[in-house]
A and B are shown apart, each in its own frame.
Chain A
């Protein structure tokens, strides 16, 4: 279901009918556990206002879902944690405000790994989201709920956050388009912080045109987020012809699922048929990126999650006598084990005596990775490879071994560490019918070109 289909439905019936239908679909698909809460009352009120002409805009009446780490009115913002189980947002995220200003209607809050710490949505304190295509498999993560609601056609688009692949990988696992913009392109204000130096906000949609429409609305400078870039995004009507594209050889090794490689090679054939040039390129730092990522991101998580102490908001344990006990017990009750694992790793790599060997070394290695990207983008417009080394894995398959779980992010973290735009577009299916995605990456601020290229490749 595209945004334009929904707009036609609103014209033919009413915003209220369309929003009611989305809510009905959300209720009919509860077994997927894609949504933690509905914002039904507020959504229906807004739909009525659209029908009365009081709310207008480019997306007037179009229902959408936000990941539950976005502050939004109408339901708690839990970040899928017990810490924020009853937290009601005092304000809304800038991205949500911008969509509402164009008349879009948020109908609910999507499941995620608690505080976005994870790659399968199995770390949600409220239970995992099931894959929209195969319910024995994970939806991916951390924006698993956002990907599933779009794949299930509950809403035409959803917002997610992507720190190391959290939009792209679930998009790939559920067969939808997932956009991680250039770092700073979209305001992060009002989104629960995970790792500030790589956190980005983006969309999940059924097709590229809709991703462009959403990006056009949510991007731009925000005085409430000093890391936002001046608004540069403009939809590019026609993809640049004869692009030079690099296929990252390090992402096509023997460790990668052969069916994933086949679908990527077919996509390359299609690019060649359209007149683009595709060459194999090397990204030698690729093998180090996961180590860099888990040092830097854990450090930033340990710092960000320090604010949840049971004092000003969020869970406060009621079994305490002293302030120290209040901090400890409130945090113990509020975090899942993966949060604790990352907080402690972060604390370790930042502690005196280990700081230089881990944190500083990782930030220097990050510079080496960025230099390799810069060198490649001096000669290539776009880099491509798989989004994930495998299609969606089975529920429980990787939960016992954190490193095995982290390795699922190996192809998405490089663009995150370098702040580059990267997009997952569907590239077909495995023989078991599981979606496989191709990842397009570009130099900073080339989001519009990546999307125009992706759009030109969609089967009409």
Chain B
């Protein structure tokens, strides 16, 4: 049984930059415990000497000509999607 404590859930939420309601914390504590229990079946597999597969394309070291790809998008168009902009820069609340 994979035990996930309430503090574990809060720690994961912090690492994930999520803020959770009390109900969400309770639900996720159960769900995450159950899911980790389920995926734990992989520990039964003998994978000694097996290489991991991170990608399935079979492509290696894909290169292209060292020239700019035109995405057809301007700086102004991208900045227009930012919630707050001052002097062509994205504005955020004070960090410190």
B22 interface contact, C-beta 8 A: no
Pairwise interchain contact A361-B32, C-beta atoms closer than 8 A: no
Pairwise interchain contact A197-B54, C-beta atoms closer than 8 A: yes
In Å, the complex CA distance between A229 and B71 comes to 20
Interface of B is mostly: loop
Instruction: Give which listed residue, B17, B56, B95, contacts A370 with CB less than 8 A.
Output: B56
Pairwise interchain contact A322-B18, C-beta atoms closer than 8 A: no
In Å, the complex CA distance between A306 and B18 comes to 10
Given A87-B81, A341-B31, A403-B34: A323 touches B42 (CB 8 Å cut-off): no
Which residues on B sit within 8 Å (CB–CB) of A367? 47, 50-53
Pairwise interchain contact A312-B90, C-beta atoms closer than 8 A: yes
In Å, the complex CA distance between A288 and B50 comes to 16
A256 interface contact, C-beta 8 A: no
* A88 (CB) vs chain B CBs: closest residue: B81
Which residues on A sit within 8 Å (CB–CB) of B32? 341, 344-345, 348
Which residues on A sit within 8 Å (CB–CB) of B36? 345, 348
Which residues on A sit within 8 Å (CB–CB) of B40? 291
* A227 (CB) vs chain B CBs: closest residue: B57
B1 interface contact, C-beta 8 A: no
Which residues on A sit within 8 Å (CB–CB) of B16? 302, 340, 343-344, 347
Category for how many chain B residues contact A: 35 or more
Instruction: Give which listed residue, A198, A311, A329, contacts B92 with CB less than 8 A.
Output: A311
Number of contacting residues on A, CB 8 A? Answer: 70
Pairwise interchain contact B56-A197, C-beta atoms closer than 8 A: yes
Q: Can you list, as one digit per residue, whether each of B32-52 has a CB less than 8 Å from chain A (1) or not (0)?
A: 101110111111010100111
Which residues on B sit within 8 Å (CB–CB) of A368? 45, 47, 50
Minimum CB–CB distance for B25 against chain A, Å: 11
Pairwise interchain contact A364-B52, C-beta atoms closer than 8 A: yes
In Å, the complex CA distance between A324 and B16 comes to 12
A295 interface contact, C-beta 8 A: yes
Which residues on A sit within 8 Å (CB–CB) of B72? 91
In Å, the complex CA distance between A169 and B57 comes to 23
Taking beta carbons and an 8 Å cutoff, which residues of B are in contact with A? 9, 12-13, 15-20, 24, 27-28, 31-32, 34-36, 38-43, 45, 47, 50-59, 62, 64, 69, 71-73, 77-78, 81-84, 90, 92-95
